[in-house]
Each structure stands twice: as structure tokens, then as C-alpha cells.
Chain A
Amino acid sequence: MSSTTEREKQAPRPVRRPGDRIFEGLSTSAGILILLTLLGVAIFLTLEGLPGITASPDDLGGKTGGKNFFAYVWPLVFGTVWAAVIALLIAVPVAIGVALYISHYAPRRLSSTLGYVIDLLAAVPSVVYGLWGLLFLSRELAPFYQWLADHLGFIPFFAGNPSGGVSANSILTASLVLAVMVLPIITAICREIFLQTPRLHEEAALALGATRWEMVRLSVFPYARSGIVSASMLGLGRALGETMAVAMVLSASGVVTFNLIGSTNPSTIAANIALQFPEAFGTFTNVLIATGLVLFVITFAANFVARAIVERRKDFSGAN
């Protein structure tokens, strides 16, 4: 062994040509530029947002309804998280079902085509979802909401308006649109993970006489659990930051309420920015940028956790 290292020491060092150095420098700096961009997003948002955070309510000319920054952003944070959580509650079970159908139930030959069809949902631009939610879905859902208010009105979620009646441009409609938008993301990741289930586990379960559902429950789900969690977190990140669908569908009034089908709804950070920014000026612009910073921190945290789970899983599944 020692003779080898000696020979390596004596061997001529590899030639480093100028072209090599330039090319390596270029590609390294491109990578570092990406890190700087991410850092820059945080820095520039903080720089432009700080005047908004520290501004007194009087400076804002009543744009925030006489509240300081934190009182202004709290209902928005609530609305953002609330809408995203409802969307996830709807989307995750459906996404798991769709992923399972594609990976384990559909005929093998069809499965990639079916996956592509679901991916088409991700290709539809968000503004088109907004259009669909505003001009189609909310009108179709109005009778259903009325039924909910009539029969389940004793549950606070379905209380409807205090004066009777319901609003179809409510947070439930917005969340339904969000659910459709995050569905392809969650489905795609779940599908990949379901397909990675060790074949031997599945075959062992089937050989012991399990039905297909028992096989899925005993071998696929335990294997995929952390993957489902991280897929849901990624979907959550997307739902938190989605702007246009909410901005177009929701009639918002900056309140904190759990009523799903009333006409007063909490707005979300992203939708609020989209609605207010084109007309904003002065310090109010800084306030909006500061709310954007809050949104950035929330989604960054959600994505960070999700990716960390995936990373940890990678080491684990590599051993299998």
C-alpha cells in the first residue's frame, strides 16, 4: 500500500489548463449565485419591509384600518393557514387515492398515461383556476352551501351569514380551488413513493393470503408514511403561497372567523398583496412587502421541514 502512495506522490500533477479553470469558475459561481439569490430574497424583503413594520398606524393613511403592522398581519396569517389547511384536508385523501390507483390498481400499461393526465392539472395556469372558481365553481356550489347551512347550520363551520343565506365566494370555495391546484403535486410524489415499495414486501403479503387492500395497508403504507407526510408538507407550502385563485374567488374582509360559507372571510397574505399592491403607494407598499416577508418565512419553514424529511428518508431507503 505504501509503495502505491509513493508512486502517486511522484506522478506528475494533472495539467490545469486556463479553459478548465474558467469553466470550473463559471459553474461554481453559478451555484453560488443561486445561494446569493435566496439570501437576496430575504435581505431585500427585509430592507423594504422594515419601514412598514415600524411605521405607526397614522403614517399609513388609514390603509390598514388604523392598526399597526402586527394587528394588520395577524388575520392574514390566520386566513393563509386556515385556507391552506382546509385545502390539504380535502386534497390529501384524494391524492393518496389517485396515486394508489395509478401505482397499484390501474392496468400497468395505462398507468404512465394516467399519471400524465393528472400532471396536466399542474400545467393549467393559476389565473385560469381563478377564472374557473369565480365564474363556474362558486355558482355551482351555491345551492350545495345553502343546503349545508339549512341542515348543518348548528355546526359553527356552516353557520352561513348572520342574516341568513350563504356566500359562494367564501373561503370553502377558495380552499376547494386550492385543493385542486395542490392535488397533482401531492399525487406525483405519493405515486413515486408507492412505486418504490420493495416488491418482496408486497409479494410476501399476497403470498400469505392478503387481499390487495391488506397488502397495501401492510406493506405500501408503512413504507410510504414519511413520504406522504413530506408530500403533504410540500402541498401545504404551495397552498400557502398560491395567490391568484384566492384573490379572484374570495370576497375577503380581514376578519378572523371559522365560518366556512359566510360572506365575511379572512383574506390570505398572498391574495391581499395581489389585490392591494397595484394601487398601493408610500409606506403601505412597505407594509405589503413586510407581509410578503412573513409569507416567505412561513412557506420556507414548511418546505424546509418537508425537504428535511425527504433527505432523511433518502439515507434510510438507500439501505433497503
Chain B
Amino acid sequence: MTTTLQRTPEPDLQRELQEHQLPTYLPKAILVGAVLAGVALTVAGPLSIAQAVIVAWLLTWALPIASRVVEGGRKAADRTVTLLVASAFGLALIPLGSILALVISRGGPQLNAEFFTYSMRNVVGEGGGIYHALVGTLLITAAATVISVPIGLFTAIYLVEYGAGNRLSRWITFLVDVMTGIPSIVAGLFAYALFVIFFGEGVRVGIGGAVALAVLMVPIVVRACEEMLKLVPNELREAAFALGVPKWRTVVKVVLPTAISGIVTGVTLAIARVIGETAPLLIIAGLTDSVNFNLFSERMTTLPVFTYFSVKFPGVPPEASIDRGWGAALVLIIIVMLLNLVARAVSYFFSPKGER
């Protein structure tokens, strides 16, 4: 144990290890540099925003190239993929940002008291509003909710509490999944084909729109409720059974209250999904310029259909109608985003303790 220790060649080893490595600050430095270059080129004026984004993106390729030179092929491939994957994410954000910016900037100026309180009855050119479309959207969506929530909720109860993996429940689960993929326009045609039997050819009626939306909404509600009911701990059910509570009272008084916040969230998200549907309502609810409060007779305008016709068939002169279309689109997006926010808030504030 008395051998003399040789001095370890630490500094050299460290240098050797780091020789073929890019410094850790380099990726961030290149990213910041590319962003700064892009901003500078836009502010100075020679490039548009789109061109500047492309230039900045091209500049970030300096990192994989430098890596190829210093670190070798494997590391360079890794950095290339990292860049590509991050670019894919950035690319996906472009349409989102572009849509929101466009709808807010074009639709924002349209929002005023007249826009919300006037229908399009006897309006030619400027003026008029979306009151009739708002009424139609709210009524039809409410009716669709009233139809689909009981069916969806009871089906979920069957799947979780009674079916217990038997053949029928497996088929229901599978077909509910398939049903989520029904094209919305097919749901509209189904409602038309159904109501033609009662009302005769060329039927346009609000309740038909509600039925079409319900076909689209039921599978979403079933999935959401099923997930939530499955989360209810079995101990709660067993405790209720042990006290001699009938099964149906256990479901109503124990299982559902435990899962209620999740169910409300799921239903709200389902409403948000169908409230923007255009195609089925175009077919079965139609378009009118007047306010209609009766779901069971005559045509009923909804916001998406109103937007579609305002923009696709603006008439002469087109500007006023297209502007109204943007305004209606903004209102629609606001409604959908509000519903999404409400759903998140419900699940955050009312979920049982410990699940947050």
C-alpha cells in the first residue's frame, strides 16, 4: 500500500472528452441568434413576417451542421431529428395562430349591440345581425343535449354497472367507437331521411337538426361518462351494498354524485364539439332570415350555417355580408372556447379531492 500514486492526467482527459462535443450553451445561442436575426430583418423592412420566419428557421440548421463537423454522424442525426420534431410543433402552431388572429381582427369590429339583437329580416346590404342564428344555435344545441345526455349516460351506466364485459356491452363499446367516426353530413342525411317520413319531401325543421347533432353527440357523451364511472372506486359501491342499499340507489346516490364533475365536463366538451357543426344543419335545418323559436316547424338558421351562406353566397355588394360572416365566426369561436374553459374549470374545481 505504499506504492507512490502517479498524478492522474485529469485536465488532459477532460479536454479529450470535450474535444468532440459542442458546448452546451450552443443550441440556445443559435436559437436566440436566429430569432433575433428574424426580428431584425422584419423590423428593418426587407422581409415580410413569413419570409423572416423561414430565414430564421434556415439559420437554426447551423446546429446540426456544426454537430456534423465537430461531433460526428450519430450526434448530428440526433440533433437533426430534434430540430425537425420541434419544427413540426412550430408548424402546427402556425394555422392556429393565423386563424385566431384573422378571425379576431376581421370579426372584432363587427361585434356591437345591433349585431347581436337584429335578425337578417328585410336587410339588404349593410346592417342586420345574428340574433336569429344565435336563437337557432342555442335551441337546436339544447335540444340535442336533452336527447343525447340521457341516452349517453344510461348507456355508460349499462356498460360499467350492468354489462360487465358481456357480449352486448363489448359490441356497444366497439360500435360507439365506430360511431364517433360517422361523417357529420351523413348524420344530417339520416335526420332528413327520418323526418321525410313524417313531414314529406323537402322538410326543413329545427328538431331534425337536433336529432342529427344528437347522433354525433351520443358517442362522445358515452365515452366521457364511461371513463368517469370507471374511475369511481369499487369500495364505495361495496360499502353501499353492504348497508343493504339497492343497486339502482347505489348508482343514483353514490356512483353518479362521485362522478358528476367528470360527467359535466364530458357533456360540456361534447356540446362544444357539436355546436360548431355546419353540414347536418345545412341539410335539415336550412336557412332563414327571420327569428324562429319553434323547433317543430319551419326553417331555423344557426350560426355556422349563417357564416357559411354569408361568405359563400354574399350577394352584391359582397363586403357587408362577408363582414357579417367573420363576425358570426368570431362569436362561434368565442362560444366554443368558453365551453371548453367552463369544462376545464368544472373538472378543476369540482373534482373530488386528491384527483387534482
Residues of A within 8 A of B (CB): 17, 19-20, 22-24, 26-35, 37-38, 40-41, 44-45, 47-48, 93-94, 96-98, 100-102, 105-106, 114, 117-118, 120-121, 123-132, 134-136, 140, 180, 183, 187, 211-214, 216, 234, 237-238, 240-244, 247-248, 270, 273-274, 277-278, 281-282, 285, 288-289, 292, 295-296, 299-300, 302-304, 306-307, 310-311
* B179-A38 in contact (CB<8A): yes
CA of A128 to CA of B196 in the docked complex: distance in angstroms?
30
* B186-A125 in contact (CB<8A): no
Given known contacts A101-B88, A121-B96, A126-B277, is B185 in contact with A241 (CB within 8 Å)? yes
* A303-B193 in contact (CB<8A): no
Given known contacts A23-B251, A121-B95, is B155 in contact with A30 (CB within 8 Å)? yes
In whole Å, how far is A58's beta carbon from the nearest beta carbon of chain B? 20
Q: Which residues of B contact A281 (CB under 8 A)?
A: 201-202
For B92, B153, B177, B332, the residue with the greatest tally of chain A CB atoms inside 10 Å of its CB is B92
Given known contacts A20-B246, A20-B248, A135-B311, is B276 in contact with A28 (CB within 8 Å)? no
In whole Å, how far is A180's beta carbon from the nearest beta carbon of chain B? 5
* B278-A117 in contact (CB<8A): no
* A41-B183 in contact (CB<8A): no
Q: Which residues of B contact A274 (CB under 8 A)?
A: 185, 278-279, 282-283
Q: Which residues of A contact B194 (CB under 8 A)?
A: 40, 44
In whole Å, how far is B52's beta carbon from the nearest beta carbon of chain A? 15
* A120-B96 in contact (CB<8A): yes
Q: Which residues of A contact B85 (CB under 8 A)?
A: 97-98, 100-101, 105
* B333-A270 in contact (CB<8A): no
Q: Which residues of A contact B159 (CB under 8 A)?
A: 31
Within B305-337, the residues touching A (CB, 8 Å) are 307-308, 311-312, 322, 325-326, 329, 332-333, 336-337
B296 in the interface, Cβ–Cβ < 8 Å?
no
Given known contacts A30-B158, A37-B215, A127-B278, is B183 in contact with A243 (CB within 8 Å)? yes
Q: Which residues of B contact A187 (CB under 8 A)?
A: 92
Q: Which residues of A contact B61 (CB under 8 A)?
A: none
* A30-B154 in contact (CB<8A): yes
B82 in the interface, Cβ–Cβ < 8 Å?
yes
* A126-B278 in contact (CB<8A): yes
Which residue of the partner chain A has the closest CB to B272? A123
Given known contacts A35-B172, A127-B276, A270-B279, is B329 in contact with A295 (CB within 8 Å)? no
* B201-A285 in contact (CB<8A): yes
* B161-A27 in contact (CB<8A): yes
Given known contacts A131-B307, A304-B178, is B78 in contact with A213 (CB within 8 Å)? yes
Interface residues of B, count at CB 8 A = 95
* A27-B215 in contact (CB<8A): no
CA of A106 to CA of B93 in the docked complex: distance in angstroms?
15
Q: Can you sample 30 A-B contacts with CB below 8 Å? A: A19-B249, A22-B248, A23-B247, A23-B251, A24-B158, A24-B248, A27-B155, A29-B154, A30-B155, A31-B158, A31-B172, A34-B151, A38-B178, A41-B190, A96-B88, A100-B85, A123-B272, A127-B304, A241-B183, A241-B185, A241-B186, A244-B278, A273-B279, A289-B189, A289-B192, A292-B186, A295-B185, A299-B183, A299-B186, A300-B181
Q: Which residues of A contact B87 (CB under 8 A)?
A: 97
* A241-B181 in contact (CB<8A): yes
CA of A216 to CA of B150 in the docked complex: distance in angstroms?
44
* A31-B276 in contact (CB<8A): no
Q: Which residues of A contact B286 (CB under 8 A)?
A: 278
In whole Å, how far is A182's beta carbon from the nearest beta carbon of chain B? 12
Q: Which residues of A contact B184 (CB under 8 A)?
A: 126, 241, 243
In whole Å, how far is B163's beta carbon from the nearest beta carbon of chain A? 7
Q: Which residues of A contact B340 (CB under 8 A)?
A: 120, 123
* A240-B247 in contact (CB<8A): no
Given known contacts A47-B193, A98-B92, A125-B276, is B181 in contact with A244 (CB within 8 Å)? no
Q: Which residues of B contact A212 (CB under 8 A)?
A: 78, 81-82
Q: Which residues of B contact A237 (CB under 8 A)?
A: 181
